[in-house]
Structure 1
């Protein structure tokens, strides 16, 4: 009996200050788990000299220019992705490169720092809503697990910053600390503009009150002063994004996107779907992050609305209900900006960016609160009888251990944790050969290996699958034209066609897979079929048994051949 009483007192007694030893213990344990998950990611990150995170292939590769301005010269792909990078994000990497840390190395190290920052703010924000340290630990642990089951945090791309920045804003907003809140708001548009728009929605929702069953505006002058300053800062920093005229514009319109295979199942940026459930609930257009409720312990979040409505007389539920208004505003702002992004489709980028990140935070906190309330009731039940009943104590102790194991040990039961999506280059000999070529060597290829060459070979490519992002038509029309021309040139039996494309783009090297002339190549590389009619014509040549001019070239044109990859000298092609 005494043991259970002490256990409940230790776990469920409120404490909200860092001077309390229990708060410090649970915070340090939270940071420890974050560090451990980061360590697992770092093991993968530095397991090979040719390895980089998947999304770095369009967010980071161009930053080699910070180290050597002569790299990737006149590279359309590098120019485009550099132009769309948020200013603060780009400046941050540039500053680190100036300090002597290569962007590729920093990309692997940064998730550790962002993870610790996210963990700290999640812990302190959760503690503000429910001053139970073990609940704050559960919130930060569940959020960490949720983030490491996807590649958002580990990518060290702009979206990796959203969790720390959004939680910092929520924490300072809840404490009514104006200038720290403003500092958090200043960073959001500079690193991830969508986060700024979402926070603006929270500030607007903060002016609403529920009065006599109806929404009404706040009557507190301080609310308008607080929200007004925050919104003014956001508008000033977000305005340039709305007014800026990109050299790669205009933005793709919904009507145009619906006609493009790239936006449908099987396309490079699948967005639309004939199934309305898939369209509205998952993917780039949908409401919920995919995979749903991962880790599965997030399912406890679904129980919080039930507790708030059916069990409002419980002491912990009363605390949650009194302090959780900001969670409701975050939910309202997420849904509102999600709808707005659909109404202004592609002008505010993808609708999912306004709910996926915030929902992970909401689900982690809601699940931890539900578990804490249920655990408190279980311990109270075990100590509520006199004389004490041993069976109740055993059940309560077993339930407490089960919750602890489920929370802290869940990831040990999953074989693919953490999910990092690191890409390892499989052809080091090819990369080393290409690095020996002049820095302005332009490589033409339809091979998926072209996705890696800008990173590992550090040479520009004319075209690759990874960077075929059709959101700005000024860029994508050029990219699409290149794809059509390369497919035509590689599979045409006419040497003059091959030579004309080589000359048009001033190609220096052709990289060809030996298996690319097999009939089933297009079936194994379905993304190529987006480029019509060139893909259909190429397939017709292959089925007719016609040998392409590229395949007939003199073997003397080969300057590299290994592991099924052949590099041809374009100058030799022109001399045939």
Structure 2
């Protein structure tokens, strides 16, 4: 009797024959369990974010820093970096933070809170989509569990960037597609185009594929006029919503070509993006920016690859054939649409951003849903087999092991860190406080990694920073690269006049130095600086000859010192007469 009861608890489908109250309680139980695990994972991640005032997501520094202009329009005057990231920030994402600023809520604080909301919405839609395809509440739980584990193993939930919104919005799009809700589809599509425009193209292709069906070895076209009207409306929405963003981001266009990118160290191992690879399999398969199967984990997601096989071998009397919604084909449509955009992005070479962005996120969702359905169907078939063959104890043990494996995977030895969060901590509050007290038009020059934190924590302009060295748009990166070359040359020159000319050219107010900046290893082992040749090589050569002029001015021009950093005031450097 144990196996039948277990089967009823775990794999019994929701059907009209079930008692309504019992069905509702079953859904509430599994949905509540889904939310419980989601909340647990999210709280484990965000607790780090609240452990210090000066903690923020790594990539959030790019998007949120310039948004402090919403509080004070005079911040970052003439700032190349702030202007660039304002131009490439999706309109809807910027509008969200503008509303938050209008409510007088600190933007960095909000960036730490909203993963909780995004995670719960993602979980809810994932659960709903799964039980729309296979009306078994446990399957919805497994799908949301696997997806949340996957999101917490990468920076897809805590990044505080537009990509965090992909998951709730895309799952909502799938849900309304299954429900044939034209209004829901169009609203979600509009939001996607405003917040993460790339996925709007995948949505559009899915709607196009849904105009066709495969039956008896032949392709047939939908005879429902509403399907074509929906597709036409979707085209209009994508065009209307994406056009303003395209115009806005064109300020620093054109986008770099693949031919030029291949000549730049920024796109190879050790570079800012590491897009190209000499390993062709890695390049197409798991390259972070170029591979179609990039960053797919945990391995339990691979259960989803079994679904096509199960569809072929299941008995006509199985749970599959009786309860599986025909909309399971939507998962295949997502895969096809994603791959079309993936190869299109490769062919157009950066015009549509990184190819992996079209498969990395959608594949995670598809595999989580497919894996949950596969596991549920296998488990149900196993229960039926055990009732006929009397292997109930063995099946019971296997079921327990499977359940524990799914639930306890995050605490296994195979994962060193879970959840994996992208938070970085600013370690020099005295520096941020000092700079905040300075005029708003100051400029800080530095090759230090700490410079990346100054815009977000001090709201002051930096000349360059590794985090902001995006070699995508040529008009931006040409200026950025020239700044880097000039900075390296000036920092390691023996000529005081060259140093003064640099300060004058870029209106530099302060110079932030690491104490280790004048040893050869600082340059030779710094992969970021090594990208800027021949300046880096010349700087190393100068160090072999002796101390650069800037190093001799540290004691006389320092206005702030910490264990590892020294802040120099350039007014002091300007009056130096040594040649």
Q: Normalising by the residue count of structure 1, what TM-score does the alignment of the two structures yield?
A: 0.95
User: Which residue number corresponds to residue 454 of structure 1?
Assistant: 455
User: Which residue number corresponds to residue 196 of structure 1?
Assistant: 200
CA distance in 2, matches of 1:555, 1:32: 56
Matched, 1:310 2:313: yes
Deviation at 1:296, TM superposition (A): 2.2
CA distance in 2, matches of 1:560, 1:314: 77
User: Which residue number corresponds to residue 517 of structure 1?
Assistant: 518
CA distance in 2, matches of 1:128, 1:31: 18
Matched, 1:45 2:22: no
User: Which residue number corresponds to residue 302 of structure 2?
Assistant: 299
CA distance in 2, matches of 1:320, 1:23: 17
CA distance change for structure 1 residues 410 and 563 in 2, over 3 Å: closer, same or farther? same
Given that residues 308 and 321 in structure 1 are in contact (C-alpha distance below 8 angstroms), is that contact kept between their aligned partners in structure 2?
no
User: Which residue number corresponds to residue 190 of structure 2?
Assistant: 186
Query: Which one is further off, 83-92 or 561-570?
Result: 561-570
Matched, 1:264 2:265: no
CA distance change for structure 1 residues 76 and 314 in 2, over 3 Å: closer, same or farther? farther
CA distance in 2, matches of 1:561, 1:9: 68
User: Which residue number corresponds to residue 289 of structure 1?
Assistant: 294
Given that residues 265 and 273 in structure 1 are in contact (C-alpha distance below 8 angstroms), is that contact kept between their aligned partners in structure 2?
yes
1:20 is paired with a residue whose SS is helix
CA distance change for structure 1 residues 533 and 383 in 2, over 3 Å: closer, same or farther? same
CA distance in 2, matches of 1:245, 1:180: 28
User: Which residue number corresponds to residue 223 of structure 2?
Assistant: 219
CA distance in 2, matches of 1:541, 1:20: 75
User: Which residue number corresponds to residue 442 of structure 2?
Assistant: 441
Q: Work out the number of aligned pairs and report it.
A: 567
Task: Indicate the RMSD between aligned Cα atoms, in angstroms.
Answer: 1.7
The 5 A counterparts of 1:37-436 are 37-242=41-246, 246-282=250-286, 283-290=288-295, 292=296, 294-311=297-314, 313=316, 315-318=318-321, 319-320=323-324, 322-385=326-389, 389=390, 392-413=391-412, 414-436=415-437
Deviation at 1:156, TM superposition (A): 2.0
CA distance in 1, matches of 2:552, 2:418: 47
CA distance in 1, matches of 2:61, 2:242: 26
Deviation at 1:62, TM superposition (A): 1.4
Deviation at 1:427, TM superposition (A): 1.9
Unaligned runs of 5+ in 2: none
1:553 is paired with a residue whose SS is helix
User: Which residue number corresponds to residue 548 of structure 2?
Assistant: 548
Given that residues 87 and 248 in structure 2 are in contact (C-alpha distance below 8 angstroms), is that contact kept between their aligned partners in structure 1?
no
Unaligned runs of 5+ in 1: none
Query: Which one is further off, 145-154 or 302-311?
Result: 302-311
Query: Which one is further off, 124-133 or 33-42?
Result: 33-42
CA distance in 1, matches of 2:356, 2:263: 21
Deviation at 1:148, TM superposition (A): 0.7
Given that residues 502 and 570 in structure 1 are in contact (C-alpha distance below 8 angstroms), is that contact kept between their aligned partners in structure 2?
yes
Query: Which one is further off, 215-224 or 429-438?
Result: 215-224
CA distance in 2, matches of 1:82, 1:312: 56
- Superimposed CA distance per residue, residues 67-99 of structure 1 (whole angstroms, 9 cap, x where no aligned partner): 233332221101110111011100001101111
CA distance in 1, matches of 2:382, 2:311: 18
- Superimposed CA distance per residue, residues 327-371 of structure 1 (whole angstroms, 9 cap, x where no aligned partner): 111111011111111111211111111100000001111111111
CA distance in 2, matches of 1:441, 1:243: 30
Query: Which one is further off, 170-179 or 547-556?
Result: 547-556
CA distance in 2, matches of 1:510, 1:311: 69
Q: Normalising by the residue count of structure 2, what TM-score does the alignment of the two structures yield?
A: 0.95
Deviation at 1:268, TM superposition (A): 0.7
CA distance in 1, matches of 2:550, 2:238: 54
- Superimposed CA distance per residue, residues 129-180 of structure 1 (whole angstroms, 9 cap, x where no aligned partner): 1000000110011001100111111112100001111111110011111111
CA distance in 2, matches of 1:70, 1:233: 35
CA distance change for structure 1 residues 249 and 166 in 2, over 3 Å: closer, same or farther? same
- Superimposed CA distance per residue, residues 170-197 of structure 1 (whole angstroms, 9 cap, x where no aligned partner): 1001111111111111101100001111
CA distance in 1, matches of 2:103, 2:435: 28
CA distance in 2, matches of 1:244, 1:564: 40
CA distance change for structure 1 residues 245 and 23 in 2, over 3 Å: closer, same or farther? closer
Query: Which one is further off, 433-442 or 472-481?
Result: 433-442
- Superimposed CA distance per residue, residues 441-492 of structure 1 (whole angstroms, 9 cap, x where no aligned partner): 2100011111111122221100111100011111111101100000000001
2:243 is paired with a residue whose SS is helix
CA distance in 2, matches of 1:314, 1:157: 47
CA distance change for structure 1 residues 554 and 358 in 2, over 3 Å: closer, same or farther? closer
CA distance in 2, matches of 1:535, 1:529: 6
